[in-house]
Amino acid sequence: MKGLIAKGLLAAGALALTTGLAVADPYEKYRGTTIVVSWPALSHFKKAEELVAEFTEETGIEVEIDALQYLKLRDRQLLEMSKDEGEYDVVSWVVMWKGEYVSKGLLTPLSQFYTSGSLVDPSYDLNDVADAYLQNGGVVGGTKGYMPGKSGAMYGVPFGAETSILAYRKDIFEEQGLEVPKTYDELRDVMAKLHEAGIPALTSRGKTGHQVTAAWLLHLAPLGGKIFDENWNPVINSPEAVEAAQVLREVAQTGPKGIPTFGFGEAAAAFLQGEAAMHLDTLKIAAMSRDPKLSKIDGKVGYALHPVGSRCGSETGGFAAGIPANAPNKEAAFLFLQYITSKKGDQRMVELGGDPVRISTLQNNADKFDEYSVVAEQLPCADPDWRPLIPEWNELNIDVLGQALTEVITTDKPIQPIMDAANEKARAIMEREGYYVWQ
């Protein structure tokens, strides 16, 4: 290996000497290759198309993007990755899928590229990538098998990663004489006051299934709740979990009309169209609010930390990207990943209206964008065990919680019995899947 690198260096040196200027082009070998990228149809990724075009121009590697609604991505990717030869060279996953992808053996460990001298850009600086993002999105291992930690291996790099922050309308808060909420009590108070003043308070997702559960999880972690105790007993009827559901109901009652139909896009649109005073979800809202095509409220938005309940705990979500085990052009795919998450690529994403993944980028642009300092402060609170990424989570997420929480936000029934019933269902599922045989 060492010899190879040495030879390569020598060759490169010789080339540099003979041409007198540039070093060898690491992309030369892959010029004309076409790689296919599967990623979501989110704003950050739409902005990234520009960066992709620059990549092609610079490297000669053609890229075709297959953008899908993010909840539809997984089926498509799983299908492609379970074929003998897949179509995708790069796949971008929601962090909660990484455990499944890895346990099914569908991804390529990135270590094999890092040992290849001809591929790795020496100026890349992996340590500069925000650790919370890298660990949550790209590393799989640990005692629970879906978390970072001991025995973890790296399968992806964060791109479009996120945590949750509070975005609020500075003008409305000023007009109403409101303080920016720091705790959940204050948040609920502000929601009530805004509602009284006839202003829809906090926008939220609420569509049955994944979306409404995601909205509830945002409140569950800071309020001190969990899905399971240490022995995999579901505790979604705990006082904390019921309180989170109560908060969600209040959000639906005081927020913009239509929350039970909102996915991420609709919830964000309500805020960006000026129809809600607050947005408590991914930091992606900040860049979106600056996009004149999406937003009517540019310049009116302030940012604050995700309010604290009994602890600080913000969302661990967003995306990371990696290379399928059956990708036809793995090396070109690696070069692509490296390019878009390099220091230069990260900076370009900021300029294009996307979100950075590097600490240095956050620091360098802190003066320009209000939310960057908030994000840097929020990141240590990002809870890596924000949701249990076990295979059963699908069913719990969509069939159990997704249904129960719809009942919470569309009816006035007492919450405790709803969550009790959900807990029973969750327990039955875990039992069916054989979780309690060791007890």
Partner 1 sequence: MSEISQKPRFEPGAFTPYAFIMPAIVVMMGGLLYPVVMAFYLSFYDWEIGRKLADAPFVSFDHFVRMVADPQVWEVLWVTIRFGFWTITIEMTLGVALALLLEKPIRGASIFRTIFILPLMVSPVVVGLIWRYLFDARIGWINYYLGVWFGIEPQVWLGDPQLAFFAIVFTDIWQWTPFIFIIVIAGLQALPSEVVEASTIDGANWYQQIFLVKLPMIKSILVIALLMRLIDVFRGLEVMLIMTGGGPGRSTELLSLHIYNRAFDTQQLGYASAISVLLIAIVFGISTVILTMANPMKSKSDV
Partner 2 sequence: MNDGFVRQLWHYLALIFLALLALAPIWVMIATSFKDDVLVQDGKPLWFFFAPTLENYQYIVTRGKFDRYLTNSVIVGAASTAITLLLGGFCAYALARTDFRGRTLMANSTLLVRMVPPAVLAVPAFAFVTFSGVKSDLAVLTFFYTALNLPFAIWLLFGFYKQIPVELEEAAIVDGATSLQVFFRVLLPLMKSGYAVAAIFTFRIAWNEFILALLLTGRTTRTLPVGAAGFITDTGVEWGRIMAMGTLIVIPPLLFTFFAARQIIAGMTAGAVKG
Residue closer to partner 1 (CB basis): 321 or 401: 401
Question: Per CB under 8 A, which region of 1-9, 101-109, 247-255, 262-270 contacts partner 2?
Answer: 262-270
Q: Does 19 bind partner 1 (CB under 8 A)?
A: no
**Among candidates 311, 136, 133, which has minimal Cα distance to 226?**
311
Q: Does 46 bind partner 2 (CB under 8 A)?
A: yes
Q: What H or E segment, with its residue span, contains residue 279?
A: strand 278-282
Q: Least distance from C-beta 12 to partner 1, angstroms?
A: 41
Which residues does residue 349 pair with via DSSP β-bridges, in sequence order?
A: none
Contacted by 46, from partner 1, partner 2, none: CB < 5 to 8 Å by type: partner 2
Q: How many chain residues interact with partner 1 (CB under 8 A)?
A: 30
Strand order in the sheet with 202-203: 202-203, 278-282, 164-169, 301-304
DSSP of 33-65, one letter per residue? -EEEEEEE--HHHHHHHHHHHHHHHHH--EEEE
β strands within 69-217, DSSP E: 90-94, 139-140, 153-154, 156-162, 164-169, 202-203
Contact 357, 136 (CB under 8 A): no
Contacting residue, 12, 15, 24, 41, with partner 2 by CB under 8 A: 41
290-329: contacts with partner 2 (CB under 8 A): 293-294
Q: Residue 293: name its binding partner from partner 2, partner 1, none (Cβ under 5 to 8 Å by kind).
A: partner 2
User: At its nearest, how many Å lie between partner 2 and the CB of residue 342?
Assistant: 25
Q: Which of 170, 97, 123, 82 is nearest to 316 (CA)?
A: 97
- Please enumerate in sequence order all residues whose Cβ is within 8 A of that of 78, keeping only pairs 6 or more positions apart, or say none: 104, 106
Does residue number 413 form part of the binding site for partner 1 (CB under 8 A)? no
Interacting span for partner 2 (CB under 8 A) from 77-85, 149-157, 228-236, 297-305: 77-85
Choice between 42 and 304, CB closer to partner 2: 42
76-84, 171-179, 198-206, 345-353 -> range binding partner 2 (CB under 8 A): 76-84
The nearer residue to partner 1, 7 or 104, going by C-beta atoms, is 104
- For the segment 345-364, give every residue that binds partner 2 (CB under 8 A): none
CA angle 182, 185, 188 (to 5 degrees): 100
Does 26 bind partner 1 (CB under 8 A)? Our answer is: no
Beta bridge partners of 322: 91, 156
Q: Considering only the C-alpha atoms of the chain, give the largest distance between any 2 of them, rounded to a whole number of Å.
A: 80
* Residue 200, beta-bridge partner list: none
The partner in contact with residue 208, picked from partner 1, partner 2, none with C-beta cut-offs of 5 to 8 angstroms by kind, is partner 1
Q: Which of 25, 49, 64, 75 binds partner 1 (CB under 8 A)?
A: 75
Stretch that binds partner 2, among 41-49, 144-152, 221-229, 297-305 (CB under 8 A): 41-49
**Residue 347: burial class (beta carbons within 10 Å; 0-12, 13-18, 19+):** middle
* Beta-sheet pairing, 62-68 with 34-40: parallel
Overall size of the chain counted in residues: 439
Question: Does 274 engage in binding with partner 1 (CB under 8 A)?
Answer: no
Smallest distance, Å, CB 388 to partner 1? 15
End-to-end CA distance of the chain: 50
Query: What are the two backbone dihedrals, phi and then psi, of residue 159, each rounded to the nearest 5 degrees?
Result: -150, 115
Binder to partner 1 among 325, 395, 416, 427 (CB under 8 A)?
Answer: 395
Q: Under the rule (CB under 8 A), what is the footprint of partner 2?
A: 36, 38, 40-43, 46, 64, 66-70, 75-76, 79-80, 82-84, 87, 263-266, 268-269, 273, 288, 293-294
Q: Under the rule (CB under 8 A), what is the footprint of partner 1?
A: 75, 78-79, 81-82, 100-101, 104, 106, 206-209, 257-261, 275, 391, 394-395, 397-399, 403, 406-407, 410, 432
